[in-house]
Chains A and B, each alone.
Chain A
Amino acid sequence: MKVLAFGIVKDIFGNSMVHVDLTDGATIDKLKMLLEEKYPRLNQLGSYMVAVNNEYASAGDLVNEGDEIAIIPPVSGG
Chain B
Amino acid sequence: MNTDIKISGEPLHIQSCVDWVMSPQCGGINVFIGTVRNETKGKKVIQLEFEAYESMALSEMNKIAEDVFKKWPVQKILIHHRTGILQTGEVPVVIAVAAAHRDAAFNACRYTIDTLKETVPIWKKEIFEDGEVWVAAHP
Contact = CB atoms under 8 A, between A and B. Distances in A.
Interface in A14-71: 45-47, 51, 54-56, 70
B38 to A, nearest CB: 17
Contacts, number: 82
A73 B123 CA distance: 8
Interface of A: 4, 6-8, 11, 45-47, 51, 54-56, 70, 72-78
Contacts of A72: 53, 56, 121
Contact of B56 (A8, A46, A51, A78): A51
Nearest to B34: A78
Contacts of B56: 51, 54-55, 70, 72
Given A51-B53, A72-B56, 5 more contacts: A75-B117, A75-B121, A75-B122, A75-B123, A77-B57
B121 A78 contact: no
26 contacts: A6-B53, A6-B123, A8-B134, A8-B136, A45-B136, A46-B138, A51-B121, A54-B59, A55-B59, A70-B53, A70-B56, A73-B134, A74-B139, A75-B118, A75-B120, A76-B134, A76-B135, A76-B137, A77-B52, A77-B57, A77-B116, A77-B117, A77-B123, A78-B81, A78-B113, A78-B120
